[in-house]
Amino acid sequence: MTMTHRFLMYAILLIAGLLGGCSGDRSQDAALPMAAPEQTPPTPAAPPRRPNILYIAGDDLGFSDLGAYGSEIPTPNLDALANNGVRLKNFYTGPACSPTRSMIFSGMDSHLAGVGVMGGSRPEHKGQPGYQGRLNFHVASLADLLKDAGYNTYIAGKWHLGWSEETGPVARGFRRAFVSLDGAAHLGPFSWNDDGTNRYRDGTQLVTASHDFYSTRAYTEKMIEYIEADRAEGKPFFAFLTYTAPHWPVQAPDEAIARFKGKYDAGYDALYEQRLARQKALGLIPADAKGAPRAEGQPAWEELTGEERRIEARKMEVYAAMVSELDIHVGKVLDYLKSIGEFDNTFIIFTSDNGAEGGRRETMSPLKEWVEKCCDNSLENLGRGDSYIMYGPNWARVSAAPFSHLKGSGYEGGVHVPAFVHYAPLGRAGTSVAGVGAVMDLLPTFLELAGTAHPGSTYKGRPVLPVAGVSLLPMLRGEVDSPRRDPDYVGWELGGQRGIRAGDWKIVWDSREGDQARWRLFNLANDISEQNDLAESEPDRLAEMLVFWEDYHMRNHLIP
């Protein structure tokens, strides 16, 4: 057959196939053009890259402590994440650090995850599965689940969910870990442990900090080291960078403190008004918001002596240095991610672990006696590694602005924290969402990002509890206003401090009121600082909210 004959034959077959395409075997017809020598099969598309997940947490950081939330403290790196990302306007934690962390890693309420109480069981809680004071094994750990899904898992900073190797971060799914076991020191080896040393767990090994140790710098360097060590594997990572700053004691390098010398000489009352005004100017709070008054019995700045003012101002200088240094070191991590081309493919979320801490534990036993022996709390030495102080309730009120009450409380100042997400594929830069989110929602959010799911009722041969949190991604993408449906509320309890939020309504029980304790009702839409108790004037609304409380109590097996 000549070349001409072959060409005519091919043309006839091709025309027949095109014209006869309405009947007969379509698959054979479609195959004919593919037989042409000049056609090549398409290259399969590469599977989409799964995002890295970086969770950055501050410790005892108040709602107004970042520049993007009204602070005068320079925090340009975190501000850029907030301003170019998605802010969660109504994001809630537990009243204190360990309950919050248990909810992060379990996706459920702290009373089911093992931290219904801080530090250990009271007599009435002994033997109860939700009150061990550590992350229990009735839950599947977030780090384990992401590790199973092919992620490298790293933690640097505060763990606070178990002191032993068997309950430490490596045992719960972290490939690499460097964590503080007490979370209560920042500079050098000094701490209030029995042996006076600041203890850490490096992997599974117990270590003591060196004299040139600085927690914020150490955690940052460890995290970059971990990511870099495994980068050639090409796997996505989950990194929990959980700083202990600005948790007490207030300590920072001398050069960092020097940057704030004289900045707080006007005092805490003036600073409170400045932050409140800036929050209004930024549109974070209503223009008519009044904030919260000083705690009962606390002196006005003008009532302090000159020496008292100098000491108080120094405390805030050190605290501001801690926040500033946290931001500087976050910037180092972000610069590293950009340098390796992973910044845009990393889902970055920042939150505090609870509200601002207003206590003065160094003035109370047993810490008081230890501080008197170990530490130099003279004005000139405040903020160094061998000093041990807290900045107190009046500066903490500034940090909590515009909210009332502080860490440990069910009021907004204890549980409502700054929170924002930066992730380029969301395409929602500079936006905010108002739906109520909570730390137990992070596990399902991260699992959805990783393309995996919670195992359900069993994990590694043991029974586990189901997840109670919900993914925040639909809300972050702007698809829904609220991540929750039926019932649409969040709740918390610790040491008798209780709270429920549903929509704009909230009820709070403050056990510190003793015999005077009762449920109080607030409408946060027009009373953001919880100053106007509506329990008596809105009895029907209070009754509705108490139904939510009973549901929360029952679901989470609370023991009074």
Q: Are 439 and 93 in contact (CB under 8 A)?
A: yes
Q: Would strands 419-422 and 86-92 be described as parallel, antiparallel, or unpaired? A: antiparallel
Catalogue the active-site residues. Answer: 97, 160
Q: For residue 509, what are the contacts with CB-CB under 8 A and spacing of at least 6? A: 410, 496, 497, 498, 499, 517, 518, 519, 520
What's the one-letter identity of residue 372? E
Residue bearing tokens 């502080």: 406
DSSP reduced 3-state for 251: coil
Q: Are 548 and 529 in contact (CB under 8 A)?
A: no
Q: Are 62 and 356 in contact (CB under 8 A)?
A: yes
Phi, psi of 156 (to 5 degrees): -140, 120
Q: Return the beta strands (E) in 364-449 as ranges.
A: 419-422, 431-438
- Going by the DSSP 8-state scheme, the letter that residue 115 receives in this structure is -
Which stretches of 131-192 are DSSP H helices?
142-148
Q: Are 112 and 130 in contact (CB under 8 A)?
A: yes
Which of 200, 148, 213 has the alpha carbon at shortest distance from 450? 148
Q: Exposed (0-12), middle (13-18) or buried (19+): which is 326, by Cβ within 10 Å?
A: buried
Tokens of 335: 């610069």
Which of 365, 266, 274, 257 has the alpha carbon at shortest distance from 320? 257
Q: Exposed (0-12), middle (13-18) or buried (19+): which is 360, by Cβ within 10 Å?
A: middle
Which of 334, 273, 263 has the alpha carbon at shortest distance from 300? 273
Distance, in Å, from the CA atom of 23 to the CA atom of 47, rounded to the nearest integer, reads: 36
Tokens of 137: 């094994």
Q: Are 120 and 131 in contact (CB under 8 A)?
A: no
